[in-house]
A and B are shown apart, each in its own frame.
Chain A
Amino acid sequence: MSRESSSGAGVRVVDARLHLLSRQVLDVDGEPVTTVDDLELVAADARDDDAPRDAAPGEPAELGAILTGPVLVTRLLGGRPPASRWERVPWRDVGHVGTALELTVRADSLDVHWPEGWLREHVVGRIPGGRHDPEEAS
């Protein structure tokens, strides 16, 4: 499913704030993953195997990743979360842009839910009965 397998069929012009920011992100099975809190811009000439270079003003640039993070506080009080707190979803994993952004990968393969996974392993899993489905007939 690489981008190179299909030829370009056209160009669709969108505005970031109007069509992308705050939109929901769904994984390949339609499960909600996160929302688009911000977008990362990288230099457009970087090859897929190179580390993406930060976008420079005036030079060709493109979207590198969807960023999601703890933006509630910064939206209320201003500023932005430090770079280390952003979770990235590479733009190459985006399959379709509509009312929501649909990914071509499963949510499990992304790091955006690591706090949930950590809590499941270290907290919920230690509670008696926390390791099986309560709906399941035992």
Chain B
Amino acid sequence: MILGDLLDARVRGPGGEHLGTVVDVRLALETLRGDDPSPDDPDREARALSAQVRRRDRVGRARVVGILVSPRSGAPLLGYERTGVTAPWPVPQLVRRRHRGTFLVPWEDVAAVGPGEVRLAAGYRQEDAALP
């Protein structure tokens, strides 16, 4: 499965009712402490180029948390409805209004993914779409 199969797919409830469109897929990136090369590493100098990458936290596995469903619009979200950003006025206000009611469905509650359509399991949960 590729992410493009999910994005912009229509979302249907367990009974086939239309719920909205998949506007994004939420992922949880595992962050690992950057492992500095040890001082007695013989290749330390050769590894200097990668030091920039090593200094910061590395990412590990990226788990799929769930799908974000917008009941009104499949237009790009720009992220405004998931953060507290208010500028530049009035863009965030308009985008929020267009995407009001956007919710997060945990991946466990996704029952089937077909061409252009995602079906949710019975008793699916609707969670807050705000980014933590």
Q: Which residues of A contact B (CB under 8 A)?
A: 1, 3, 5-18, 20-21, 28-30, 38-41, 44, 54-55, 57-58, 60-63, 67, 80, 91, 94-97, 102, 104
Interface contact A55-B64, CB-CB below 8 Å: yes
User: A12: which B residues are within 8 A, CB to CB?
Assistant: 28-29, 31, 59
Q: Is B19 an interface residue (CB 8 A)?
A: no
| Interface residue count on the B side (C-beta < 8 Å) | 50
Q: Please give 4 more A-B residue pairs, beta carbons under 8 A apart, in addition to A12-B29, A15-B82, A80-B4.
A: A12-B59, A40-B3, A44-B61, A57-B110
> CA of A55 to CA of B110 in the docked complex: distance in angstroms?
12
Interface contact B58-A14, CB-CB below 8 Å: no
**Given A3-B60, A61-B64, A96-B58, A21–B3 Cβ distance below 8 Å?**
yes
Q: Is B95 an interface residue (CB 8 A)?
A: no
Q: Which 9 A-B pairs have the closest CB atoms?
A: A63-B62, A6-B32, A61-B64, A39-B3, A16-B25, A95-B53, A57-B110, A9-B33, A12-B29
User: A55: which B residues are within 8 A, CB to CB?
Assistant: 1, 64
One of A17, A57, A95 near B77 (C-beta < 8 A): A17
Interface contact B68-A15, CB-CB below 8 Å: yes
> CA of A63 to CA of B63 in the docked complex: distance in angstroms?
7
Q: Is B87 an interface residue (CB 8 A)?
A: no
